Amino acid sequence: MMRFCNEIQLQKCLFVIFLLVSFNTYAEPIWHLYKNKNGVSVYYQSHSDNTFEVKAQMSVKGVSTNEFLELLSDTDAAPQWLENISQVKVIEHISPSENLVYSYFNSPWPVRDRDSITYSCYSQLTANKSQLLINARPNKQPRNNGVIRITTLNARWLLSEDKGRLDIEYQVYALPDGAIPTWLSNKVGLKSTYTTFMNLHHMLTDKTYTPKLPIIKAGQC
């Protein structure tokens, strides 16, 4: 490209090349559709090691952000909608907007069960949009014998209220650790995300949960 540029045009050509390189470097990641059914859309993005990052979206009519947060506060009800999870408990309320949470994942034989400790922080982005960020904190408590601790987990709930409905988006990248084939982990992750969102929709619309104080509040994250 440079050989076609005369001395006067050189600066303009360099600028165009810079724009092209910048566009390729910062282009939006490509999301592939896994399933779009019953109002739930699930996508995946493949990383260089063939592991998947997963994103799910849906809209729920007649539900507010506060009601979603109230559902999260009812950790006893978590196994009813979070696929493959048998226990969730808040270890510590760090601040009104921050929690430390323990989760236990059931795995089919012969795969060993998993658990995780995550830090979550809730913040307000705009007047009608908020997010809950979740990250693994595997060393916050001693590990349990016979259970594999998940060490890589980064997730975000994005909540947007609009005209009497709640738009929910969940994005997560997690590695199960241990001897699980990548293809199997990816398959289970996609399927469980779809099932979780279907369960979540039912829980929110039927309001089959009991809010428990303290309910997380927006703060600085």
Q: What is the DSSP string of 156-205?
A: EEEEEEETTEEEEEEEEEEE--SS--HHHHHHHHHHHHHHHHHHHHHHHH
Average pLDDT over residues 25-54: 90
- Domain residue limits, the chain: 1-29, 31-206
- pLDDT value, residue 18: 40
Q: Determine the Cα angle at 107 with ends 101 and 111, to 5°.
A: 125
Q: Report the distance separating Cα 139 and Cα 56, nearest Å.
A: 28
24 against 172, higher pLDDT: 172
Query: Largest Cα–Cα distance of the chain, in whole Å?
Result: 72
Residue 20: per-residue pLDDT: 38
Q: What is the mean pLDDT of residues 191-209?
A: 98
Which pLDDT belongs to residue 12? 44
Phi-psi group of 62: left, alpha or beta (phi > 0 → left; psi -120 to 50 → alpha; rest → beta)? left
Decide if pLDDT at 13 tops 70.
no
> Could you read off the pLDDT of 136-176 as tens digits, one per residue?
999 999 999 999 999 999 999 999 999 999 999 999 999 99
What is residue 115's predicted lDDT score, i.e. its pLDDT? 98
| Coil, helix or strand at residue 21 | helix
pLDDT (0 to 100) of residue 9 = 55
Q: Give the confidence band of 14 by pLDDT, cuts at 50, 70, 90.
A: very low
Residue 92, pLDDT > 50, answer yes
Least confident stretch, 69-73, 89-93, 115-119, 182-186: 182-186
Continuous H helices in the chain: 10-25, 65-73, 78-81, 182-206
CATH number of 31-206: 3.30.530.20
**Spacing of C-alpha 106 from chain mean position:** 19
Percent over 70 (pLDDT), the chain: 87
Average pLDDT in the chain: 90
pLDDT recorded at residue 179: 81
